[in-house]
Each structure stands twice: as structure tokens, then as C-alpha cells.
Amino acid sequence: MSAVALIAGDAHPQLAREIARSMGTSLVPASVSAFADGETRVRIEAEVRDADLYIVQPTSVPTNERLMTLALLADAARAAGAARITAVMPYFGYARQDVRKSPGEPRSAQLAGRILRCAGVERMVALELHSPALESAFEMPLIHLRADDLMLPAIRDCGFSRLTVVSPDAGGLKRAQRYAQALAAPLAVVAKTRPRADAAVVQQVLGDVRGRACLIVDDMASTGGTIVGAAQALLEAGAAAVHALFIHAVMAPGALERIGAASVRTIMTTDSVRIAIDPRVRIVPIAPLLAQTLGRLTGRSTLRTEVTDVQES
């Protein structure tokens, strides 16, 4: 029976510590540093031979560096004799680029998966992928988690009255439908066009939102443009109040300010990526969900070492 080893990458070591604490175990010490020219250097500083190894590393900003660090940690673990390597990626940074929309474009999501597979990753755990089609696109098993069981209680705690759940675009309609059904609330959708990446033009609101509290449900907020556009359209359609929920706080500089300036009263998200504490944002922790998932996957003994933060230099 293989021991279980849990390693924190450099993207979100606090999340890895909380997962380990929830599992009643500890982290294998590892270091992530860089040479003078920026080249990433990693080292696993404990025995992991024959271990069932899990690397916690969302590929958040800077996405390319986080992905490379994950690949290097996987390769180091493989070289050290780990029995199996699982990448725990609460946020998968290339999930928006899963299809070729025009000639000459890559399928970046699938390429990122192949890079990790070549590095030794044999299984992935991800939360709320941008494109559900990716569930069958990777060349390795994927455990795709939903945040519903975490976010629904947080919504109910807010005590919204006359609630309507809103999808900010047609692509997120299935997610919004799940929330609307669970909350016994009506559903609306904001129709929009996207002339270029990170830009959206709202067209119209489909559904009755007049005099109602509207909750925009999305998988991520990057520039904040989608939420801002949807909020403006909802208020113009007569919504009494607008609130926003997104799973991944992939916040570009100024995004939170833009969302707040659009009269969005409540902002809810998870800590799938590292996010600064802000009184305007309610953060729902995901460590319990990930710890429960890893516990089901392992069901084995645990390789125990002293809890150690990832070292950065």
C-alpha cells in the first residue's frame, strides 16, 4: 500500500496547508526558486519513493510560470520514484482556449494537459472548468469538481429576497440553471457578443428581472467586464439590486474596482486562487471540498512529515 504525499507548489501554499490540515496530515517540504535569468528551479526535500503524490498548484497569475513549476515538480517526483502523480489544480488557467476559433490558433488547454502528462502527471483534479467539454479532452483521468455545495449555503446565508439567478452569457447557462433549480428561483440570461478576447458587448436581458434581486453566476472574473456589462443591463431592465458570484477570482488590476463601481452590492468567490482579503468580497474556502475529494481518492495511509511552507526566493 503506497503512502500519500501532499506537496504545495508556489501558486497557493496556504490552500495546500489547509487541505493538509483538513486531511489530518502534513506537507512534504519542497522549494521553488529561480536562477538569475528567471529560470525556475524546484526541489522535493523528502523521500517520496512509491508514494501516491498530489501536487497542489492552481495555474493562476503568472499562468505560464505556475504551469511550468507544476510540470517541474511532477518531473522531480517521477525521478524520485513516486508511484503516481496527481495534479490538484483548483483553477486551470488555459481552460478558455479549448477550441480553434480561427485557422492558426492552438488548442492551448489540450496542449497544457499534454505538457503535464509528459512531465509525469497521471491524473488531474480541477474545480469548475471554463469549458465542460474539457472533461473528455485530456489524455489522463480528470476529476472535475463543482462548487455548488460550497456556494449554495453562502447564497442562502445572504438572505436575498425575490431572487433571480442570472447567467451573464449563454455559455454559462447550465451552471446558472443548476443554481436556480437548487434555490427554487427563476432564471434569466444576458445575451452578449464578444468582439475580441476580454471584451464583451451586452445585447439584451432575457427573463423577468424587474423589481428583483439578481445574482449573476459565472465561473470566473478576470477583467470584470462581463459582470459589469451584465450588471448594467440588469439595472437598466429594472432589477432592484445586483449581486455577483464567481468561482475563480482571476482578477486583473482594477477588476474589483470596476465591479464595485457597477453597483454590484455583494461579491462572492472562492479561494481557488490566491486572493487578498477585501471587505467587499465574501470568500468561500474550498479546502474542505478538496480534502474530501483527495480522501476519497486515496483511502490509504499518509506520509507524515513536518508541515513546511513552500520556500520561494
State CA 280 to chain mean position distance. 20
User: How far is Cα 126 from Cα 208, in angstroms, rounded to an integer?
Assistant: 34
Phi and psi for 248 in degrees, rounded to 5?
Answer: -115, 120
Cα–Cα distances (Å) from 257 to 106, 122, 250, 301, in that order, read: 33, 40, 14, 46
Report DSSP letters for 53-93, one per residue.
EEEE----SSHHHHHHHHHHHHHHHHHTT-SEEEEEESS-T
User: How far is Cα 179 from Cα 165, in angstroms, rounded to an integer?
Assistant: 7
Asked if 221 and 227 touch (Cβ cutoff 8 Å), the reply is yes
174 classed as catalytic: no
Phi and psi for 39 in degrees, rounded to 5?
Answer: -65, 130
Catalytic option among 192, 212, 243, 248: 192
Q: What three-state secondary structure class fits 291?
A: helix
Residues designated as active site: 192
